Chain A
Amino acid sequence: MKDAPPRDTAAISGLIDADIHPRNPQRHDLAPHASAYWAEMFEYRSIDRLEMMSQPQSIGLNQHAEGAQANATPQDIARLHLDPQGISAGILNVMSGAHAAYDPYLAAALCEATNRWLAADWLGQDSRLHAAALVPFVNPDAAVQEINRLAPDRRFVSVLTPLMGEKPLGRREYWPIYRAMTEHGFALAIHPGSIYRHAPTQSGFLSYRVEEAALAPQAFASQLASLVAEGVFTEFPDLRVVLLDSGLSWLPALMWRMTKDWKGIRLEVPWIKEAPSDIITRHVRMGTQAADLPQDADQIARVLGQFDAANMLIHASDFPRPHATGAGVPDWLPQPLHAAVARDTARATFVRLEGLE
């Protein structure tokens, strides 16, 4: 924002970045980590380019100034991002076509191979790097198996899902996934992107990417409403949800409306025993990039005062997108929130990040 005061991030140690995107893995990356069957099928069926239509890496809109080289290897990310920003822990979020497979077994194979590739080629190369696990939401049994397999490897700190999937995230079909996650301390990360099982809006598919980006908050709001209404947080009180690249100023409107409605229609969902705004405050965290805010610092402070910003915001750069946050925490962030946003809230949320300096 234009009128914000200059940053002073030098004082913050232990900066954590909750949203870094490595390149998407392709067939040659995944085949060594897949079964003989899937390794052959990846080749035989051209399962290679795993790029989501809604979250492409190859288009100019999303490319770093250094192009595909910005996030091709751990060394690239270290050189362009971790080192200059003094990041002590970064979480890799793979927004690849693995999320979009229809075949439940292919989905499981792609997710597992991607996680193995992350462990071998990324996490092993730079101790600052951590990752979100990919699990097949279209195959909850396999998702649970994959979470249990990864549980001993604490470099995997979260489970990642695209914003718009097959069903609202609160549905009971997904509860075995959340049960396994909470048993092992994984947070749930939700990142924009749709696998287009459904139109992104109540009036169908949109003409432009800008429209889909502008309307992403309604999908985030619906997912939070689903998680609250279905009772996911009632059933899994330890689950934490991190919204990435979500914007943040839309959240209070959802909290206020859902709380007002709840007072009269809680009979529909009597397992919700406290105000939805309190449930959301306790369980939901938001990345700082990108924020939709007014121009001047006083107005920004008023927006941040509408929710528990000190405990709900997490630094998340969205590197290597061109709109990624520059140095350290964003410049609109008031100084008193810096330490919480840069480090403390992330540590409390990604509980598998223990043992950091």
Chain B
Amino acid sequence: MTQELLAKAKGATDDRARTMIVDCDIHPAYTSQAEMLSYLPLRWRQHVQEFGLFSANPLMGALPYPRMNHGMRRDSYPAAGGPPASDLAFLQEQLLDAHGIEYGILQPLSPGHLMSNTALGVALCAGTNDWQIDKWTGPEPRLKGSLSVMQEDAQASVTEIQARANDRRFVQVAISPRTLEPAGRQRYWPIYEAAAHYDLPVAMHSAAFGSRANTGSGWASFYIEEHFAFSHAAQTALVSMIFEGVFDAFPHLKVVLVEGGFAWFPAMVWRLDREWERHRREVPHLKRRPSEYIRDHVWLTTQPVEEPPLSSQLDDILRWVGMDRLLFSTDYPHWDFDHPDYAFRLPLSPGDRALLLRENAVKLFRLDGASVERRGA
């Protein structure tokens, strides 16, 4: 950054004392596999001990693309032991208190989403939900949970949503964007119907695991390729949901694309409208332009914030995406953490800063206690 810009950014951050923050992407961790298993019924606990967490991935219990520094902030290991973000007290100290976070949305990345055995996946997701209440959102009301569901079994997902939707410690439904079929397919519609009914946004967080190659030409070789390709899963889900008619079927559905960055988004929207013009007779069931569905239904979290060479370029991107659909997120405790004061390398007006860091999320997740809007589906 130039000195001038630094000075401006410094001026902008003077407002930070007055801006409370909602962090829309925090990754709580199990202290151990034993802790995770303790949230499974005996039948599934024994199953996992005997057969493992079987999924379409090359390695047991390890990332297929090894990351630098174990993929973690190196300063995030709790003194009490255990992996990063497995200790509430340290998370409170290092994240919530240190940054003035009013609310933090948990993205627990349940292993349930990727199980080949869907019944096991359903049980794991239910366990992740119980665990969020016991360990995190119960003891710490600043933390809000994600209602994890095994998206490949839509009926079980609906059951799980119905059982917990009135528990306001959960503020969204979480599914993997790396669905077995494109996310707009009708097999997933019951999930969207239930989420829309309870006015719970559906969050799709970038996933390191999936059964399909991460590029259309097969598997990438390096993490530096894989990392950007996370945004591609979100793009696929978004495009499929639009063209399969999800947003026509569920006009109150809200979708949050988490941890894919956002600089790709304006070009995607321009392209969607252009290609829709060219192909519109192929999808006559669409009632509106793609950009119109996006305007009403889609939000994005900000991390990892892109860093173009000029701050004006980031400003253009923010405005093209829309200041009202971006949700600040840190991705704590992962290595590519974004700091609320320094991630946006441009001067922001106090109003825009408030929207990004707090207001959009408060409104979307009804964190101000706004009443539940029950929807007929």
Contact = CB atoms under 8 A, between A and B. Distances in A.
A252 B274 contact: no
Interface in B133-184: 177-184
A276 to B, nearest CB: 8
Interface stretch (B88-96, B224-232, B351-359): B224-232
Contact of B243 (A168, A211, A267): A211
Interface size class of A (residues with CB under 8 A): 35 or more
A290 B213 CA distance: 27
Contacts of B50: none
Interface string B198-224: 000000000000101111111111111
A208 B242 CA distance: 11
A226 B290 CA distance: 30
A254 B68 contact: no
Contacts, number: 234
B222 A229 contact: yes
A229 B65 CA distance: 14
Interface size class of B (residues with CB under 8 A): 35 or more
Contacts of B184: 207
Contacts of A294: 266, 270, 320
B79 to A, nearest CB: 25
A264 B270 contact: no
Given A247-B267, A249-B266, A306-B313, A202 B214 contact: yes
A321 to B, nearest CB: 9
A203 B263 contact: no
A219 B216 contact: yes
Nearest to B178: A202
B295 interface: no
A209 to B, nearest CB: 6
B217 A225 contact: no
A164 interface: yes
20 contacts: A164-B216, A168-B217, A198-B216, A203-B180, A203-B236, A203-B237, A204-B181, A206-B236, A208-B279, A208-B283, A210-B283, A213-B275, A222-B232, A223-B217, A230-B222, A249-B266, A257-B227, A260-B307, A262-B224, A323-B278
Interface of B: 67-68, 177-185, 210, 212-225, 227-229, 231-233, 235-237, 239-240, 243-244, 261, 263-264, 266-268, 270-272, 274-276, 278-280, 282-283, 290, 304, 306-309, 313, 316, 320, 335-336
Interface of A: 61, 163-171, 194, 197-211, 213-215, 217-219, 221-223, 225-226, 229-230, 247, 249-250, 252-254, 256-262, 264-265, 267-269, 277, 290, 292-294, 299, 302, 305-306, 322-323
